[in-house]
Structure 1
Amino acid sequence: MRIGHNFAENFSFAAVMLRLVRTLRRNPTDAEYLLWKHLRRRQLAGFRFRRQHPVGSFVSDFACLEARLIVELDGSQHVEQSNYDLRRDAYLRARGFRVLRFWNSDVIARTARVLDTIFEALHRPDMDGRFD
């Protein structure tokens, strides 16, 4: 491997990504905090989830690498950035991940239903999409 300009760019990108991930982990939304209480330490069906896990140039809210499942929590700002979310989801799917999206308000008001949906997706490799 030749070390040069690309190495410096990659190193710089990795450093920026690491800072971003650490910031996101230190400042979770209420919905992220609540869901993480149920996903951490293999509490959901024994599957290990990672919080604020980088995938390429994106950071997923929650990722289960074993099941190739990403769980995204969306606040009101996502209504205005639906095109970005579509591109992001396509990028993640192209890398073999399934993506589930939940509104923050659903995580808070219907926690058990959200957890049931995630549980089902962990056991059904064809399940993908938005929680309704």
Structure 2
Amino acid sequence: MNISDNVSMFYNAKPHIFERAKALRKCMTGSEQKLWEYLRGRKVGNHRFRAQHPINIFIADFYCHELKLIIEVDGGIHRSKENAEYDLGREAELNEWGIKVIRFTNDEIEMKISDVLKKIEAICKRRKVERLKTDSI
């Protein structure tokens, strides 16, 4: 099932998800704040990223609607079996909408931010080409 790009970038998120996202924006983790400083204001490839963005029942750490790209920042809790399984299911559902999810750990952001940014830039370039091909079909 591929949902058309005409669908809202919020994928029918309900008001309580917007409220939760707003609260999360006010208390982002240190790693999220650090990455946000590099993503905000179209600093990466002139793409607009949104922080703590509602998508259906989920909240993406960072989302670029133009590229249908989510960037997740994973702390230690994501290493647990339960959270890893939840993340896989969530990612599969988001993939159904044509949304790609990439993940970085807090440690990567804190200790290797330049590598993280290079990876994000490369993925954005690839994703832009993929989206152009999809849009022209």
TM-score range for the pair, normalised by the shorter chain length: 0.7 to 0.9
Q: Which amino acid aligns with 2:16?
A: V
**1:1-132 to 2 correspondences below 5 Å:** 14-80=14-80, 81-125=83-127
Per-residue deviation, 1:45 = 1.2
Higher relative contact order (CA 8 A, sep 6+): 2
Structure 2's unaligned 5+ residue stretches are 1-12, 131-137
Output one character per residue of 1:22-79: Cα deviation in whole Å (capped at 9) or x when no partner: 1100000000000000000101110100000111100000011111111001000001
SS at match of 1:61: strand
Output one character per residue of 1:75-119: Cα deviation in whole Å (capped at 9) or x when no partner: 000011100000010011111111100001101110011011010
> Alpha carbon RMSD of aligned pairs, Å?
1.5
Structure 1's unaligned 5+ residue stretches are 1-12, 128-132
Q: Which amino acid aligns with 1:113?
A: D
What number of residue pairs does the alignment pair up?
115
**Whole-angstrom CA distance in 2 between matches of 1:18 and 1:60:** 11
Percent identical among aligned pairs is 36
SS at match of 2:31: helix
